[in-house]
Chain A
């Protein structure tokens, strides 16, 4: 056979079995990711319960408008990722590459807003515990705890986005070399699962971190 990469690897009976095995592996990995983020969410829940007013005051210092904008950017990138998977399934190589690039660009916009418009701003405002924390309102140490959660949770989320951008780069090169077809595109699909999962994590981070203290 001249084709060096067989469409069905020898341990699988057919394409469908191979496809299910690939998806199942990704879903199990995402299960471990739920556990990973779950620890942070549980810790957040405990301390939000103990220091409710301080957490609301901390949340109030974040810009909910920018948070909502970033949520929209991430949802757009999820759409382009879903369309990239669709393009791969129907064997449209150029469309696939276009949608992969748009997903990467939207991910980049998200990270730019996160790091430059938010983190840098918060650091300058003295809201970065351990580095530059000058908040002196009531319960300042508990507000610092809120910002520890804020930087840790958004930071770990952003790290996942950066990994996602790396995955997209590899997929883009593979697509450019013509490695995918209607019959072979599992890589795109499971990368899509990962990308949508990051979107789901942000869907929960947005109300927990930004909207908690919006109403006063």
Chain B
């Protein structure tokens, strides 16, 4: 078995879909959907990237190890963004210390400096 030669019709169809999706994502951006603007835009972008990878980059017809490499890279990127955002989103300003915390702080200060 040799490499697969895709029909040019598929390329034209993918090309048309990409242009339509670009137009769609551009027009939707002018409608105020609140936080959903970014969700919709990213969803369309992921779909477009999938079209390019599957057909233009021949993933549909390549050996599955190519898909594995792509999956590994995207998975690692997901770890990077998820763990980073997990940190950033859970950082809260320190609240006013409770009395028992205050006394602990004082006794620690005493222990360190040895002064009252």
Contact = CB atoms under 8 A, between A and B. Distances in A.
The interface centre, meaning the residue of A16, A19, A211 with most chain B CB atoms within 10 A of its CB, is A211
Contacts, number: 141
A168 to B, nearest CB: 16
Interface in B14-65: 15, 18-19, 22-23, 25-26, 29-33, 37-38, 41-42, 44-45, 48-49, 52-53, 55-58, 62-63, 65
Given A200-B52, A207-B42, A42 B81 contact: yes
Contact of A86 (B11, B19, B31): B11
B84 interface: yes
Interface stretch (B72-80, B97-105, B108-116): B72-80
Interface residues of A, number: 53
Given A72-B19, A82-B56, A196-B52, A49 B89 contact: yes
Contacts of A75: 15, 18-19, 22
Contact of A34 (B32, B52, B66, B73): B73
Interface in A41-79: 41-42, 45-46, 49-50, 64, 68, 71-72, 75-76, 78-79
A73 to B, nearest CB: 11
Q: Identify whether the interface residues of B are mostly helix, strand, loop, or mixed.
A: helix
A30 B49 CA distance: 14
A83 B11 CA distance: 8
B97 to A, nearest CB: 26
A211 B26 contact: yes
